[in-house]
Amino acid sequence: MTKLRVINFAVSLDGYGAGVDQTLDDPLGTDGERLHEWAVQTKWFGGPGSPDGIDDRFIDAGFESIGATIMGRNMYGPVRGEWGEDMWTGWWGSNPPYHHPTFVLTHHAHDPIEMEGGTTFHFVTDGIESAFEQATAAAAGQDIRLGGGVSTIQQYLDVGLVDDMHLAVVPILLGAGERLLDRTDRLDGFGPPEIVASTTVTHLTWRKA
């Protein structure tokens, strides 16, 4: 059965998944890039590997048995409002890391964009349930990865569609920004978290009870 999974989503000790003042040059806001330093050092991203290998295992597992991705428009790029003449095709260059159909939530229609490596961005204007249905069909029995941003994850938590949620808690304080678990009821229906600590972050995984 296809599951909707939040995987390797990084948050600060005070719960923020992005900082304030997000810009084209600073897409995760002030100090937000520090949330991903642990992931960049893993072998999957071309780094030397995490010192104890734990982070590498989590990153690798996050790409196994995934047949589709859903993300918010803010994760896809900085363009706001109508798309206009902008030729933006994502933050990841010509060969994004997904390699499967990827569904972008937006209020503004856009033709699909086919990239190298098997990634095609589809733009969904009729809501999160429609994106979920389309991604489920595209995943063909595999799971769906739910990407950011914070608001996108919260919307799916609010309607009870998230099956697994893995957060990497990074030992920094952002102080402000976009806080993921701003309401404890968003964890209703999940069992207690599985906790695995590496030398760089603490991995928390919640699964539907």
Output the tens digit of pLDDT for each of the chain's 209 residues. Answer: 899 999 999 999 999 999 888 777 777 778 889 999 999 999 988 999 999 999 999 999 999 999 999 999 989 988 778 887 777 888 888 999 999 999 999 999 999 999 999 999 999 999 999 999 999 999 999 999 999 899 999 999 999 999 999 999 999 999 999 999 988 899 999 999 999 999 999 999 999 98
Q: What is the pLDDT of residue 201?
A: 98
Sign of CA dihedral 184, 186, 188, 193: negative
Token pair 């780094």 is found at: 47
What is the CB-side half-sphere exposure of residue 142 using CA atoms within 13 A? 16
Domain boundaries, the chain: 4-20+30-82+95-207
Contact 29, 21 (CB under 8 A): yes
- 150: tokens are 């914070």
Cα separation values, 202 from 12, 56, 61, 91, 108, Å: 10, 13, 16, 26, 37
**What's at 27, amino acid-wise?**
P
CATH class of the domain comprising 4-20+30-82+95-207: alpha beta
Minimal CA–CA distance to 145: which of 185, 100, 108, 88? 100
For residue 179, what are the contacts with CB-CB under 8 A and spacing of at least 6?
14, 15, 16, 17, 150
